[in-house]
Amino acid sequence: MKKVFLIPLLLAAIVALDGESSWGGKLYKWVDEKGVIHFSDRRPEGPEKVIGVLEERDLEDSPRANAPPRPETTPLARSPIEHAVQCTFTIKSRSKIGTGFLVSANGMAATCKHVVESMVGPTAVLNDQSEFPLQVVSISSKYDLALVQVLGPGNLPFLPLRSDEGMVPGERLFAIGTSAGLQSTITDGVFTGFRKVVPKEERYIQFSAPVNQGNSGGPLLDSQGRVIGVVSMKTISVGGAPVTGVGFAVPTADPVEEFRYLIQ
């Protein structure tokens, strides 16, 4: 029987960066009654929603060391895949790393549930290497999906979503992610078909683009740069023998179903 494993995201060693983002104002951090960590420029609505200490930080007094100047506009992409790279970012904490991608100009982004559900103080590293706090907005109870928000500047570039209807075996696909810790790594392969993966028998897109540690939560795209899935897991062995080129992504219909009302 084929064994399917979630892409492991724990790294042997991660260099911690203490820098802060350079945009002004206050940043508040707290944990709610469900254990979800929040970052916001506004205080929580009521003290009953805060578990533990409400942390307050004055952002304008703590610019990130050696932060590159952020351009007023995103450089014009020369291809749909280059645009997709500009819309994809690294998600990191002290012990985990993964990928997310922007789905709206106000910083809303999609990733995998298993990337962020146990992260403490996640940070988003955008393609231009600027860093911003990452807030977990919603975690799906049905799929390996989460909606997060980059608490940074507005008017960010974002990716269009494509329905998986009409996909043909052999169609070329691209995966973008922080593969093995290397940000904005692009791999390509083809669409194989749809599979139901145990134990929940959920429907996944099977593809052949190579994926590694850190790819989880990244976009799976067609040649026009439209997202058709969220990279979630891969088969690493069958009967003890190593397997390559067998990856799985959550179809875009699932995040649209789960989070449409939050990203419109």
Class of the CATH domain delimited by 3-8+159-259 = mainly beta
Comparing 58-72, 108-122, 165-179, which segment has the lowest mean pLDDT?
58-72
Answer yes or no: is pLDDT of 90 > 60: yes
Q: What is the pLDDT of residue 47?
A: 58
SS3 22: coil
Instruction: Give the pLDDT mean for 250-254.
Output: 90
Q: Is the pTM of this model over 0.85?
A: no
Tell me whether residue 104 is one of the annotated catalytic residues: no
Q: What is the pLDDT of residue 94?
A: 87
Q: What is the pLDDT of residue 129?
A: 95
Band the pLDDT of 198: cuts 50, 70, 90. confident
- H helix intervals, the chain: 80-86, 113-116, 253-263
Strand partners, 97: 92
Query: How far apart, in Å, are the Cα atoms of 33 and each of 49, 57, 145, 186, 250?
Result: 6, 22, 21, 39, 28
250 touches 204 (CB < 8 A): yes
- Each residue's pLDDT tens digit, 121-179: 999 999 999 999 999 999 998 899 999 999 988 889 999 999 999 999 999 999 999 99
Helix (H) or strand (E) holding 245: none
Domain boundaries, the chain: 3-8+159-259
Catalytic choice (21, 216, 222, 254): 216
Residues 6+ apart with CB under 8 A from 156: 74, 87, 102, 105, 106, 107, 150
Tell me whether residue 32 is one of the annotated catalytic residues: no
For CA atoms 88, 89, 91, 92, give the dihedral sign: positive
Tell me whether residue 21 is one of the annotated catalytic residues: no
Catalytic choice (93, 130, 144, 208): 144
